[in-house]
Structure 1
């Protein structure tokens, strides 16, 4: 057994020596960003401001307590996020498997070999049965990683694991934004439904008035028919928005991954700010390199770099060791007697001489895959730049659009009031009143859309700039008590 310990000691020393083995992987340098340094909507001075938006946690960004509770529920129950988390666990396990190849695998074995020799071939002319027992502790085919092949594969698995981690972060940020967007959409559609219901009730009153005027001979049959058509149009809108609200609730429940309590649903209004209104005005495009999807693409690029190292190492000799030490005896009782020690040591070296160009082809594949991954990294960065540029472009004009929509509602409200007064006094026909009704209804619908666009844009800006995510906050997130 002393030899067993000696074997394990030699193995440990070899592991220490190999920890300083050379790597054939090329030196990695982060590629220069394939995007401008600043957004089209701002100058260099604005871009020098700190990109504080990435440090704003979602609990602080979401101002409505009901929305915060709903996001916390989704982070716990959403199935897509659960799959992303399980992908991390799988990648972590694969990394551990690959890392284990750096160390020798030591195993113990015990065996009995029984052999019968017939009398016809026995030297003594007598049939004999021989037995041999052995107990061994050994290492089988452990590769000495002199040229970094195994280490490169380990690094590739590590980067794949880190890429999965960033992908999960990206999925979480997207989920938060999707839940907030769906919640705001539900609130806007509830507002539209309330507007349609109020309009329906108002037009029914106008229709009743037109019926009385028609009975008195003041209003024409055309006025009565037009009033009836406006009532039916409003009734159709009410039915349509009821359906839309139901679909919005279904979408919200799918994102949450569980039934959504009524207490967490929004009111029939989008005027109250549900998210943080004041976001940093100026950020450099370098913040994109910290977006989870961009980081995931960079980890994949580093993994492709490591694959080149493994492909290069295939051109060099591969050395593996198989060794064992233990005891052997022809009788089970004598297995551990003095003088029964046995050992074997089988070093093996494999030198590539001719492989039909396979090694060179594998290296070419690794180089090509790195170029593909580099192009994908650049495309991810450029896509992120476009998303931010689009969101900032809308943000620059959304307040102006909202003010214009509000002014239009004020003007059409006044116009409708005058038209209704003139109709009641018999000065104008119902056609003028109907036009005023439709214009006011359309203006109010547009105002709701503008209010929703402003809120949604804030969520989008927060998301595309890699809106702050804190693991500790997310783990501790629970239902809010300050409702």
Structure 2
């Protein structure tokens, strides 16, 4: 047993100084401009970027996100993938150490008389109890450590995938909540418009019945009424679908008190993107970090492929006791040991090892291209969000002014119609214009909230 312990210590010391054939890793340069286009000019400290709990202003939405993080099945799958990758990394790491096992056994053999030295048939028995390891590879050239490095990077990549899934989930919940709020606002507007047009139609019909209004005015009023009724039904369906979509992304039934009751003017409380934030912040996005982990894993696999060209040294050793009787295992002088070193040197593989090394190098180049593409895609997402952000404030102001002007125009048309100055057609046209302007304002307000969510997601949950 002392010899076995000494051998294990010696092997550990040898492996500590073993070489590694993994190429030196260098992060590829980001193939994007150093600064974002259309970035706002407002100055702010980069460290002030809020987390998602501070990003969203509505307490109901924050509570809903917490519920989704606890129940969403996609996020749960991502977490389980981490556990699986951790276990796989543990399996690979175990190859760095010898697997020591204890064995006990009996060997019984009968020899016929013509094979026995004594000239008589007989049965021999041998008992043994040993502790040792079998075919343990001395990792002189880093093959096992390269594979261990590869498994580690893949495991860390799954953790980045979980973070990316969480950011996407937060954004998806916020978008579903925002769409439901906007559809409820549209439904409320359609219902109010339906009630108004119902009254207008009834008034017009009474006037028609007494001959004060033409049939054309009545049909025009009916046209607007039926259009409003159709819109009200359509938005009622969209609201139901929105509740179902929100329940799906949350992963549980959404309590009524957590559903949006009205359309919030400001769904987020995030500050504008600070001036001077470099595009380098994209390299800290979880999905890009995951892509880089895959690149590091591909780089480590080259080390394992290189090590395959060198000799592989394996050891098999055991120590224990052996005796012809079971009681003899515990008597003095029954000790036994074995030590079997082996070396294997590839001589002719018909190009197998060279082809495998070339394949790992090509795989690394593929990983580099995927990493660069991930950065380019992320840069475009941020650039698109900033392009929208640059004009949304002006669009909101214009739509609000349009609603105010349309409302004033409607009131004037109504007054002129009652005074007999204008025809009923002018009043109906003003009603249509006001209704369309109010719907457009809701759409722009929804786009503004969605843009803030998109900026949060595209920057990887913030820019700190």
- Is the pair's TM-score, using the shorter chain for normalization, greater than 0.5? yes
1:51 aligned to 2:46? yes
- Shift in alpha-carbon separation, 1:123–1:17, aligned structure 2, 3 A: closer
**1:255 deviation in Å?**
1.0
**1:12-42 deviation digits (Å, cap 9, x = unpaired):** 2311320221110110011111110011214
Bigger CA drift: 274-283 or 30-39? 274-283
What residue number does 1:455 align with? 449
Give the unaligned 5+ runs of structure 2. none
Partner SS, residue 329 of structure 2:
coil
**1:121 deviation in Å?**
3.8
8 A contact 2:56–2:270 mirrored in 1: no
8 A contact 2:406–2:430 mirrored in 1: yes
**1:122 deviation in Å?**
3.4
Partner SS, residue 21 of structure 2:
coil
Moved over 6 A (4+): none
- Between the aligned partners of 1:13 and 1:213, the Cα distance in structure 2 is 108
What residue number does 1:25 align with? 22
**1:427 deviation in Å?**
3.0
- Between the aligned partners of 2:345 and 2:382, the Cα distance in structure 1 is 53
Partner SS, residue 111 of structure 1:
strand
- Within the candidate set 331, 337, 359, 2:331 is matched to 337
- Between the aligned partners of 1:74 and 1:325, the Cα distance in structure 2 is 57
**1:164-214 deviation digits (Å, cap 9, x = unpaired):** 111110110111111111111111110000000000000001001100110
What residue number does 2:267 align with? 274
TM-score (norm 2): 0.97
**1:269 deviation in Å?**
1.8
**1:277 deviation in Å?**
4.2
Partner SS, residue 35 of structure 1:
coil
**1:120 deviation in Å?**
4.9
8 A contact 1:317–1:352 mirrored in 2: yes
What residue number does 1:474 align with? none
What residue number does 1:382 align with? 376
- Shift in alpha-carbon separation, 1:63–1:192, aligned structure 2, 3 A: same
- Between the aligned partners of 1:302 and 1:47, the Cα distance in structure 2 is 38
- Within the candidate set 291, 295, 316, 1:297 is matched to 291
Bigger CA drift: 261-270 or 232-241? 261-270
1:202-281 mapped onto 2 (5 Å cutoff): 202-271=196-265, 273-281=266-274
**1:268 deviation in Å?**
2.1
- Shift in alpha-carbon separation, 1:206–1:187, aligned structure 2, 3 A: same
8 A contact 1:94–1:157 mirrored in 2: yes
Partner SS, residue 431 of structure 2:
helix
**1:261-318 deviation digits (Å, cap 9, x = unpaired):** 11111122232x2211423332210100111111111111111100000000001001
What residue number does 2:191 align with? 197
**1:222 deviation in Å?**
1.5
8 A contact 2:39–2:386 mirrored in 1: no
1:30-429 mapped onto 2 (5 Å cutoff): 30-42=27-39, 50-52=45-47, 55-271=49-265, 273-282=266-275, 283-429=277-423
- Between the aligned partners of 2:292 and 2:89, the Cα distance in structure 1 is 18
**1:468 deviation in Å?**
4.4
8 A contact 1:191–1:270 mirrored in 2: no
8 A contact 1:388–1:461 mirrored in 2: yes
What residue number does 1:480 align with? none
- Between the aligned partners of 1:12 and 1:75, the Cα distance in structure 2 is 47
- Between the aligned partners of 1:430 and 1:464, the Cα distance in structure 2 is 51
8 A contact 2:141–2:310 mirrored in 1: yes
- Within the candidate set 6, 10, 23, 2:7 is matched to 10
Bigger CA drift: 415-424 or 144-153? 415-424
**1:83 deviation in Å?**
0.4
**1:49 deviation in Å?**
6.3
What residue number does 1:477 align with? none
**1:338-367 deviation digits (Å, cap 9, x = unpaired):** 111111100000001000100000000000
- Between the aligned partners of 1:195 and 1:265, the Cα distance in structure 2 is 18
Q: CA RMSD, aligned part only?
A: 1.7
What residue number does 1:478 align with? none
- Between the aligned partners of 2:43 and 2:347, the Cα distance in structure 1 is 58
What residue number does 1:475 align with? none
- Between the aligned partners of 2:418 and 2:118, the Cα distance in structure 1 is 133
TM-score (norm 1): 0.93
What residue number does 1:473 align with? none
- Between the aligned partners of 1:147 and 1:65, the Cα distance in structure 2 is 57
- Between the aligned partners of 1:325 and 1:343, the Cα distance in structure 2 is 4
Give the unaligned 5+ runs of structure 1. 471-483
- Between the aligned partners of 2:44 and 2:312, the Cα distance in structure 1 is 54
Partner SS, residue 211 of structure 2:
coil
